[in-house]
Structure 1
Amino acid sequence: MTTLQERTVADVVTENIKAAHIFKKHGIDFCCGGGISIKRACEKAKIDPSLLEAELLNLDNLQDRAHDYNSWKLDFLVDHIINVHHHYVEESSPLLLQYSKRVNHVHGHHYTELAEIEALVTKVVQELAAHMKKEELILFPFIKKLVTAERDDSQVPAIHFGTVENPIKMMEAEHEEAGELLRKISVLSNNFTPPEGACNTYRAFYAKLDEFEQDLHQHVHLENNILFPKALNLEKKLKKN
């Protein structure tokens, strides 16, 4: 029986296109140079094959999405959003930029929509980076202060933006802008469907875009529908006391 390390990079990517993201992260060519074994590819890239194997085996361990997010304390929910969704965006953004540039460079002469897709990917990556920084430096710390004030039965801390409603409105508007950019990409890419006979890099790019959009939907849901309304209610409650 062939072990995972003995299988070729191309075979593993063909079986599960998401494996391409792992190979890409480690600098392993899964497209034109994918005909060698994983073990040999790791030797060339100076990577421990057992570590890469562990990542590949863990690829399809789906995260439990059945959490009762609505019951979580707001400070815990904030940490979850940062550690799961912000981390995902930070980790995925360089891959998306590399994929979009490469695919447009190689295939843009034939598929003219790729130039616009590359521009939109660059824009959404840049906007989300700035957006998440504002949340982590301004909004989220204040929400945590509200939680502390409730727990300690203390006063709402003074803030320069007046009320938590102001940064929340800004974040919601930016969520809508990011969502609109990804909607445009979805339309241009035929709902992230690569053309017939597309190479593995092209397929990996669209698979990553699809995954990125799905994560953003979950990310925005947790903020717009749970975190933000509860933060608004908590601030109002504390100001009444």
Structure 2
Amino acid sequence: MTTLQERTVADVVTENIKAAHIFKKYGIDFCCGGGVSITRACEKAKIDPTILIEELQNLNTAPDRAFDFNSWKLDFLTDHILNVHHQYVEESSPLLLQYAKRVNHVHGHHYTELNEIEELVIKLVQAMAAHQRKEELILFPFIKKLVKAEAEGTEVPATHFGSVENPIHMMEEEHEEAGDFLKRISELSSGFTPPQGACNTYRAFYAKLDEFEQDLHQHIHLENNILFPKALKLEKTLQKK
């Protein structure tokens, strides 16, 4: 039997989404980097694994059914990602761009890191827009076709991209890129911490970046650790019939 220490971070969060808050608190990546064991994750984060394990064991082991994402049908999960996370990115991106430009214009002469932060925000917003467009036009519709094929007992629909593994691999690489942009922004901003006496716009900008990162972590977790593996498994199952 696999011990909690040996289980991957992604598996634990998939089983109980509340665990994400604990990993977040200790600076452990549960989305892109969630494929490592808890022991290894603790080593990388330089924290005592016994403390983390104790907190995980004290979590309510019965996840809220309303957010038991692992039990959801794949078509329902894709709709959730679209309606919650894609919508959030679309609504937040213009605001982030406005904040980045304004704060850099007013304070960039003194806080020189703001110039690079603005450049990274522009790259992040552009990357996420292109990424989500591909998911909405190509990957998610195909996953829904897989779900329909399973329900109706029909064959896997033909595609121009071959296996679903190909667009999934591309999406995972793009997740890494977006995560790297935010990681660098976090480093430059001391964990989205505004300087002493910062104006309200400066503070609002960093608070929005922090919120955006938290949403992205959840967004990527749902795709990398639940939606994508299940879509791959479903495609293979249908191909065997």
Residue 66 of structure 1 deviates from its aligned partner by: 6.4
1:187-240 Cα distance to aligned partner (Å, 9 max, x none):
000000000000000000000000000000000000000000000000000000
1:149-207 Cα distance to aligned partner (Å, 9 max, x none):
00000010000101000000000000000000000000000000000000000000000
Structure 2 unaligned blocks of 5 or more: 1-63
Structure 1 unaligned blocks of 5 or more: 1-63
1:124-149 Cα distance to aligned partner (Å, 9 max, x none):
00000000000000000000000000
**Where do residues 150-229 of structure 1 align in structure 2 (5 Å cutoff)?**
150-229=150-229
List, as ranges, runs of 4+ consecutive aligned residues in structure 1 with deviation greater than 4 Å: none
Quote the Cα distance in structure 1 between the aligned partners of 2:114 and 2:156.
49
Question: What residue in structure 2 maps to residue 21 of structure 1?
Answer: none
Question: What residue in structure 2 maps to residue 68 of structure 1?
Answer: 68
Question: What residue in structure 2 maps to residue 121 of structure 1?
Answer: 121
Quote the Cα distance in structure 2 between the aligned partners of 1:148 and 1:179.
32
Given the two structures, how large is their TM-score scaled by the length of structure 1? 0.73
Residues 1:221 and 1:65: Cα distance change in structure 2 (over 3 Å): farther
Identity across aligned pairs (percent)?
A: 79
Given the two structures, how large is their TM-score scaled by the length of structure 2? 0.73
Quote the Cα distance in structure 1 between the aligned partners of 2:80 and 2:66.
14
Quote the Cα distance in structure 2 between the aligned partners of 1:232 and 1:126.
28
**Where do residues 90-129 of structure 1 align in structure 2 (5 Å cutoff)?**
90-129=90-129
Question: What residue in structure 2 maps to residue 83 of structure 1?
Answer: 83
What value does the CA root-mean-square deviation take over the aligned residues?
A: 1.1
Question: What residue in structure 2 maps to residue 131 of structure 1?
Answer: 131
1:61-111 Cα distance to aligned partner (Å, 9 max, x none):
xxx896100000000000000000000000000000000000000000000
Aligned length: 178
Quote the Cα distance in structure 2 between the aligned partners of 1:111 and 1:160.
48
**Where do residues 26-41 of structure 1 align in structure 2 (5 Å cutoff)?**
none
